[in-house]
Structures are given as C-alpha cells and as structure tokens.
C-alpha cells in the first residue's frame, strides 16, 4: 500500500513553463487517470515524479522519493515510452537485465512474460515486435518487481481491442489488491471504464482532481432533458431560477443550471405538464473537453464539408452560442433561458 | 552500487555488438600480427629485438605513425555503453532500475575499463604468440622493453575506450560520438598536428602539438626508430609517462564533464 504524493511539481523549458506548481495525490486501491490535452505536461510530470527530469517540487512514494528507494522496481513500476529497449536484445534478456539491478529472480521474468502474453516470443529480438508487443514488454518490465505502485504513460498505445480489454482487467485487478496506479491515456472512453479517480491538467496546471464520478457530474454538459407542452410557462420560470434551456429536438429541451429534482418541483409550482424529465449525464469526453477547452496547446481548425478556402466567416447561424458547450446534438432553435426565455418554438 | 554493476554487466553481455566487436578485435589482431610477424626478416632490419616484437604486438603502432587499430575497435564498446542508452531510448528504463546516476556512470566506466584492459591484453598476448612462433628463433621476445610497450598500449586502449564513453555521454548521440572518437585522433588531431608543427621557428606551438591528447597518449607505446627525423620540425614527443599523464588528464576531464552533465541533465 503506497500513497503517491506529488507536491509543487514544476518544470520549465527555457522561458516556457511545462509544469506549474502541480500537486496531487494518488491513493492505494485505485486507478487514477491522468488526463490532459497534448502538450499539457503529463509525460513531463511523470518524469519529474521519477526523478528523471530535474525541476521543482517533490514526489514521494509512501514518504520516500523515488531516487531514495532501494531496489526501486520492487516499489514502483514505470512505463514511460513504448519501444524503450535495444532492438537486438532478446525480450527475456531485456527483463533479466532490469531484474539483475533489483535482485529480482529470473523466474519472475518468465512469470511476467507469461502474464503479458509474450512467453512464446521471449527468446525473440524486439525489433520484430509490433507496437503492441513492445508495449506489452514495457508493461512486463513495469510489473517485474511486483511493485505496489505503477506509473504508466499511455500503456494502451498500440494495443488491439483485446489487448486494451486485457490491460483494463489487469489494472483493475492490481488496484483491487491495494496498489496505487497512475495511468495517462488519450482513450477517454477507456479511461471512463478504468479509472476511479482523475487528475486533469492543462498547460501544466492542475485543472481538477478527484473521483471520476464528481468530474463527470459537475460538467456543464450534464443536463436535464425536459419535454413539456407548457414550455412557454416553464421556460421563463426556469430562467428566473438560473436555468438555461436549449431545444435539442422538436419539443424537447436540454436544461443546464438546474437539477432534475428542482426542475420537477418548479414545473409543479408553475403548473406545467411534463411528458419527459430525465438527467442526461455527460460523457467523460464531454467533461474533459469542457474542463480543458481553454487549455489546449495545439488547436486545429475545423473544416466544414464543401468549405472553400477563404470563403467566409465561421460564426454560428443562430445567434450567439450559449455559455459553455451545447449539450447533446446541435440546437435546432435559439436557446431558451436568460437570453431568450420565451422564444417561439 | 552493486546493482549498477550487475545491470551494466548484464547489459554488456546481452547484446550482439559486444560479441562481434570482441571477436572482430581478436580476429583482426591475430591476422595482422601474423602477417607482420611472418613478413619481418629479423636479420635484415636495424630494429632492436624489442622494437621488432613490439611492432608485431601493436600491429605496427609502436613504430609510430600507424594508429593502434585495436584501440579504435575497442573504443566502440565505450561508445555503445552510453550510445545504446540514448539511441534506443533505454536511458529512462536504466534510471528507473538504478536511479543513482553516479552509480550508473561509475559502473559504465569500470566495466568499459575492465573489458578494454582485458581485451587489449589478450590482443597483446596474441601478438606475442605470433612473434614467438615466427621470430622466436632469431629474436628475444620476452623482454622488459616489450612488456612496457604492452603496458602502454593496454593503458592507452583503456583511456581511449573511456574517451569514447565520455564523448558519447556528452553528445548523447551514438553516431556523432562514434564519428568523433574515430576521427579525432586520426584526422582532426593529425590536421592540427600538421598546422602546428610545419611552421618552423614557432617553438611554442610545436610544444603544444606534443600535448594533443591522443598523440600524447600514443607515446605510452610508441618506440619510433627515427625520432630524430621527427625532430626536424621542432616537434619533440613526450616521454611515455608524460604522455600517459596528459592523455589520462584529458580522459579525466572528459569523464568529469560527462558525469557532471549526466547528473544535472534531464534523462
């Protein structure tokens, strides 16, 4: 059982800050997802945690910095990059070399090779390996010392769907044994199924951390779907309570700023009939995009089908966009709420 | 520290390049020393017994103006020691297995030095064997002169290998370091030598030329016959001990610089 405690991590490349005063905690018995847009500083953070990069702050594993750990692979297993092996050193020898430094018996090498499904190619040179096989070898290296803590940077890269499923089950199993696991990934749907907790960063700074459920439910894209023939009554009333409604399809509104229970009570108060009332929870991807929307390091342009280069503006067609991203599909009518509560349907 | 040694030792003996470099060095030494030993006529030369044997052992390098080829090959072991870490992205794996960077560097230095010394000595023995087989009837092979030359070329090879290791650690680029360690002693130092030595009357510059590190190191095993001819341009080679100290100091500076940067740089 080990707690990872990162405090005040910081790193600059010249004048450009890569990680800024980043603090978080990873608890035993959980998988903590480490999310952030490209260039957010996830890999740099992981390297800082392991003492591979020099920077500010400190990270401890049960109170001990990585560089002070005796036989560190028995405490912390790390996967930082795919294909970190000599192409002509056989897979088994690669692991035996790492094991030798940590007094890990050779029998354990064969155990982890079997665990990751590489027993049949243990005597092969990794230059023949696919990206997924290389990734499995890296995971085997991380597991070699049977560590209580795992730090994995994009471990699912290159894995096929079966491999991803295997990895998910493996990490959940390891977490259930009380280990602390920090995993970065761009596969948000995968992370939604895997992680118990999240640390989200953008431009090197902490955006949020905590249980994944809290992160999703606090998203602006979590909304209440309401269908009512009396929207002309209900619309102004919910606007007064700070709600914001957007018609998502004919007669159906997506409401943010007010919860399902409160909206039901409000409808009762103003005498509006409800034909549908339910909560639509944001996906992790939506919540992530919400949280990191202004933190992207590299932003691509949207290309509209049939768009002619230099051929006009990119403004929305139906007035100003609502504050925050629209829930669900694009609105087919102007929003109902503080902007225009009584808009005709 | 023992963890770093275990790691480095396993690292060295689990890659193919170690074997072909060692095999290549021994094969090269065997063939070249055999050819030289077979082609020398001891009765038709002004060389002393010690010089004849040394020239076989060093494959001509002890006579001067011929590089110690085996040292160049062995230096590649030093280059690969660090080069593979950076070329194949292994350095982070290495430092997560052994986080003590000082221990990692020390293990690399000691391992490279031990292997280089052992291999250079083995090469010398192969040369001695060929000298004894082909020249033993006419030449006294086993002399203190020869053993001093062997000592010199073993030390030179070790320092050469460590320079390869150090330069690779500095550059963090295997190809660049390989080119540098092969070209610096042969081409770059050679060119500097000519530039410094040719202008006559510039005694100060001539003296500096003898302090070029690889040239100075070469004096540990060089026993040229025509040293007075070289003196024509005012160039006076250092004594073996002086040369060894100069080359050793250069290697020490490279190693210290590598160590300092290895510790402060990001992996």
Chain A CB within 8 Å of residue B106 CB? no
Beta-bridge partner residues of A50: none
Q: How confident is the prediction for chain A on average, in pLDDT?
A: 85
Chain B closest-CA separation from residue A130 CA (Å): 16
Which member of A78, A88, A94 has the closest CB to residue B96?
A78
Output phi, psi for B87, to 5 deg: -70, -35
Contact B163, B74 (CB under 8 A): no
Provide the angle, in degrees to the nearest 10, between the axes of the packed helices A91-101 and B2-12: 160
Sign of CA dihedral B13, B17, B19, B21: negative
Chain A CB within 8 Å of residue B93 CB? yes
Chain B closest-CA separation from residue A36 CA (Å): 22
CB pairs under 8 A between A and B: 86
Cβ–Cβ of A100/B6 closer than 8 Å?
Answer: yes
In the predicted structure, residue A9 carries a pLDDT above the cut 90: yes
Chain A CB within 8 Å of residue B17 CB? yes
Helix, strand, or coil here: A325? coil
Contact A92, A110 (CB under 8 A): yes
Angle at A236 between CA A230 and CA A237, to 5 degrees: 85
Helix, strand, or coil here: A313? coil
CA distances to A7, A212, B24, B122 from B128, rounded to whole Å, are 63, 73, 18, 10
Q: What is the pLDDT, as a whole number, of residue A149?
A: 96
pTM comes to: 0.83
In the predicted structure, residue B175 carries a pLDDT above the cut 60: yes
Residue of A nearest to B99 (CA): A67
Identify the CA nearest to B221 among candidates B70, B77, B25, B113: B70
Chain B CB within 8 Å of residue A81 CB? yes
Q: Which helix (H) or strand (E) holds A224?
A: strand A223-227
Selected for mutation to probe chain B from A60, A83, A100, A141 (highest B CB count within 10 Å) is A100
Which stretches of B172-239 are DSSP H helices? 174-183, 189-197, 203-209, 213-218, 227-230
pLDDT classification of A296: cutoffs 50, 70, 90? low
Residue of B nearest to A52 (CA): B267
Chain B CB within 8 Å of residue A80 CB? yes
DSSP at B239: P
Residue of B nearest to A12 (CA): B266
In the predicted structure, residue A276 carries a pLDDT above the cut 70: yes
Q: Which pLDDT tens digit goes with each residue over A217-262?
A: 888 788 899 999 999 999 999 889 888 888 888 889 989 888 899 9
User: How many angstroms separate the CA atoms of A248 and A232, rounded?
Assistant: 16
Cβ–Cβ of A84/B16 closer than 8 Å?
Answer: no
Burial of B4 (0-12, 13-18, 19+ CB in 10 A): buried
Contact B35, A121 (CB under 8 A): no
Give the ipTM of the model, two decimals please. Answer: 0.86
Chain A CB within 8 Å of residue B97 CB? yes
Chain A CB within 8 Å of residue B18 CB? no
Cβ–Cβ of B266/A53 closer than 8 Å?
Answer: yes
Helix, strand, or coil here: A245? strand
Beta-bridge partner residues of A153: A184
Q: Which pLDDT tens digit goes with each residue over A44-65?
A: 999 999 999 999 999 999 999 9
Residue of B nearest to A79 (CA): B93
Q: For chain B, how are helix, strand and coil distributed in percent, rounded to 5?
A: 80, 0, 20
Output phi, psi for A8, to 5 deg: 60, 35
Q: Which pLDDT tens digit goes with each residue over B127-139?
A: 999 999 998 777 7
Q: What is the pLDDT, as a whole number, of residue A331?
A: 36
Contact A84, B88 (CB under 8 A): yes
User: How many angstroms separate the CA atoms of B146 and B132, rounded?
Assistant: 12
* Most confident by average pLDDT, A252-261, A294-303, A324-333, B102-111: B102-111
């Amino acid at each position: 059982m080990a707690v990872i405690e990162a405090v005040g991590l910081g790193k600059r490349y010249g004048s450009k800050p890569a990680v800024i005063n980043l603090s978080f905690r990873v608890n035993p018995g959980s998988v903590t997802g480490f999310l952030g847009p490209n260039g957010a500083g996830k890999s740099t953070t992981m390297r800082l945690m392991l003492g591979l990069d020099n920077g500010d702050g400190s990270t401890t594993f049960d109170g001990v910095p990585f560089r002070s750990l005796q036989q560190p692979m028995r405490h912390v297993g790390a996967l930082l990059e795919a294909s970190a092996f000599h192409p002509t050193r056989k897979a088994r020898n690669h692991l035996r070399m790492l094991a030798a430094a940590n007094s890990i018996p050779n029998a354990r090498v064969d155990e982890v090779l079997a665990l990751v499904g590489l027993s049949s190619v243990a005597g092969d040179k990794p230059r023949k390996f696919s990206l997924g096989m290389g990734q499995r070898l890296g995971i085997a290296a991380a597991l070699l010392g049977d560590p209580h803590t795992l730090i994995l940077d994009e471990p699912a890269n290159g894995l096929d769907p079966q491999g991803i499923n295997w990895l998910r089950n493996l990490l959940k199993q390891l977490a259930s044994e009380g280990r602390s696991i920090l995993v970065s990934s761009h596969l948000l749907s995968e992370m939604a199924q895997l992680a118990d907790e999240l640390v989200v960063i953008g431009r090197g700074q902490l955006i949020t951390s905590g249980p994944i459920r809290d992160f999703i439910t606090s998203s602006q894209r979590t909304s209440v779907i309401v269908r009512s023939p009396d929207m002309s009554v209900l619309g102004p009333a919910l606007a007064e309570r700070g709600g914001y409604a957007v018609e998502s399809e004919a007669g159906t509104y997506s409401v943010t700023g007010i919860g399902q229970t409160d909206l039901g009570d409000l409808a009762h108060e103003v005498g509006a009939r409800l034909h549908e009332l339910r909560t639509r929870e944001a996906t992790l991807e939506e919540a992530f995009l919400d949280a990191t929307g202004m933190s992207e390091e590299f932003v691509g342009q949207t290309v509209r089908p049939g768009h002619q280069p230099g051929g006009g503006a990119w403004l929305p067609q139906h007035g100003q966009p609502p504050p925050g991203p629209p829930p669900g599909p694009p609105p087919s009518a102007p929003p109902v709420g503080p902007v225009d509560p009584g808009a005709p349907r | 520290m023992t963890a770093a040694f275990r790691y480095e030792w396993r690292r060295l003996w689990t890659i193919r390049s170690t074997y072909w470099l060692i095999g290549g060095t021994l094969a090269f030494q065997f063939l070249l020393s055999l050819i030289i030993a077979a082609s020398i006529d001891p009765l038709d030369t002004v060389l002393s017994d010690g010089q004849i044997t040394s020239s076989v052992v060093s494959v001509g390098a002890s006579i001067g103006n011929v590089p110690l080829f085996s040292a160049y090959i062995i230096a590649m072991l030093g280059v690969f020691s660090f080069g593979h870490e950076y070329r194949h992205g292994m350095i982070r794996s290495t430092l997560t297995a052994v986080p003590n960077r000082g221990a990692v560097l020390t293990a690399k230095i000691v391992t490279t030095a031990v292997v280089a010394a052992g291999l250079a000595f083995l090469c010398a023995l192969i040369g001695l064997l060929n000298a004894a087989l082909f020249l033993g009837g006419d030449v006294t092979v086993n002399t203190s002169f020869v053993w001093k030359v062997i000592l010199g070329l073993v030390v030179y090879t070790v320092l050469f290998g460590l320079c390869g290791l150090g330069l690779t650690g500095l550059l963090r680029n295997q190809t660049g370091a390989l080119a540098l360690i092969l070209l610096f002693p042969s081409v770059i130092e050679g060119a500097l030598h000519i530039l410094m030595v040719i202008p006559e009357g510039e005694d100060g510059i001539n003296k500096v030329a003898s302090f070029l590190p690889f040239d100075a190191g070469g004096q540990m095993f060089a026993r040229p016959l025509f040293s007075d001819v070289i003196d024509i341009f005012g160039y006076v080679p250092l004594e073996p001990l002086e040369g060894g100290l100069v080359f050793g100091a250069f290697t020490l500076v490279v190693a210290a610089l590598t160590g300092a940067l290895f510790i402060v740089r990001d992996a």
